[in-house]
Amino acid sequence: MIERYIDFLKNIGFSLHIGHTASTAIAEGLAFLSLVILSLLLLWLVRFILKKTVFKIIKKTSIKYDDMLIENHVFQRFCMLIPIILINFYIFKVLPDYPQIANGILKLNRVIEIIVFTLIFNAVLNTGSQIYQSFAVAKVKPITGFIQVVKIIVWCISALVIISFLLGTKLSTIFISLGTISAILILVFQDTIKGFVGGIQLTANDMLHIGDWIVMDPADGFVTEINLTTVKVRNWDNTITTIPTYSLVSAPFTNWRGMEESGGRRIKRDLLIDIHTVKFCTPDMLEKYKQIQLVRPYIEAKEKEVNEYNESQHVDTSNLANGRQQTNLGIFRAYLRAYLTNDPRFNTDLLTMVRQEQPNEFGIPLQIYVFTKTKSLVPYEEVQSDLFDHIIATAPMFDLKIFQRQS
């Protein structure tokens, strides 16, 4: 069939009075081009059929593991073998008069084949890792680091196999040569190699981008440049700090990108309440606090709950230590929660709370934990300052005193 197609193309060349050599070259070149186009069309057709039939069936099944095969492109990468197999099988048939060119194309095709098999292996490995992550044991015994090491080893072996194939030498010979050269390279280019490996890890794990705000003593600012061996950070005072790339892998640093991509920026700050000002609320105190609109619904609901409990337990309320009573600090906490909830500057879809921490010699730490909607530094600090201005000014209205060391 192929021979007839090539002869047909040659005859067209002869009819156009093109020489035998030129006609043969054009005919076999067009035959090769036709083979490539046919292979790509077949690849597209198989992928189209998979997408319209097999993928839809898989997504409708209750088993989630087969969906992971699609997510990690396992089927798609297997399909990439179709044009490779066709070219391997037919290359000498479409270029019978040019065996050297055919052999060169075959070598290139073999290299692509090795790369595709490596991609398939990585896709299967990713699927296996994803399946493992769905089990509870993955939290106790994570294998992400092991998977990454296996991937690096597989890519290194693939690169060595390609080099061995192209040079026509044994793989063992290349290993011996690499062992001799590597000792010299590691000694001479130690920092460069560390930086290169560190850069790969930063990229592969998505640890750092240009424009990220990072903190790593003494750097505190935005990443402006990522080089082979160094990362440049412009600090808030416009000084430049240069950090070795491998230090960002071997030592801890803080990347604020997660905060910038999230729904808000956290405020987590304590105020110390003078422990001597915390007291049970008398009826007069409750009436006074009810004048504060934000906390009135809480006081009324809590008052009803406390009264019902005390009555059911036949509590003697002449002494406030009996039964349940409201305290000025509890009402103050309820007020602050209502204040944070009603202020549009805070994102209450994220965790919001006002809590007490362990009392100490300075008083009772009252912690405010909330997220601002703004994430820019200056507006964030303004919101935080406004919040604590308000809290400090409001505390005396609940008969509470903020602790301050006496001079």
Q: What is the pLDDT of residues 230-245, one digit of tens each?
A: 889 999 888 999 988 8
Element (H, E) at 70: helix 65-71
Domain 192-261: state its class.
mainly beta
Matching residue, tokens 């020489």? 19
| CA distances to 44, 182, 291, 328 from 284, in Å | 81, 84, 11, 12
Under DSSP, the state recorded for 210 is T
- pLDDT given for residue 313 in this prediction: 87
Give CA–CA dist 137/147, Å, rounded.
16
**Amino acid at site 88:** N
Q: Which of 61-65, 262-266, 350-354 has the lowest mean pLDDT?
A: 61-65
pLDDT digits (tens, 9 = 90+) for 262-291: 888 999 999 999 999 999 998 899 999 999
**152 pLDDT tier (thresholds 50, 70, 90):** confident
Alpha-carbon distance of 109 to 76, in angstroms, equals 18
Per-residue pLDDT, 186: 67
Question: What was the pLDDT predicted at 180?
Answer: 66
Length of the chain as a residue count: 407
Domain with CATH 2.30.30.60 in the chain: 192-261
Dist. CA 277–CA 121, nearest whole Å = 68
Q: Which residue has the higher pLDDT, 360 or 174?
A: 360
Structural contact between residues 157 and 142, judged by C-beta atoms closer than 8 angstroms: no
The residue among 199, 204, 250 whose CA lies nearest residue 223 is 199
- If one compares 328 and 183, the residue with the highest pLDDT of the two is 328
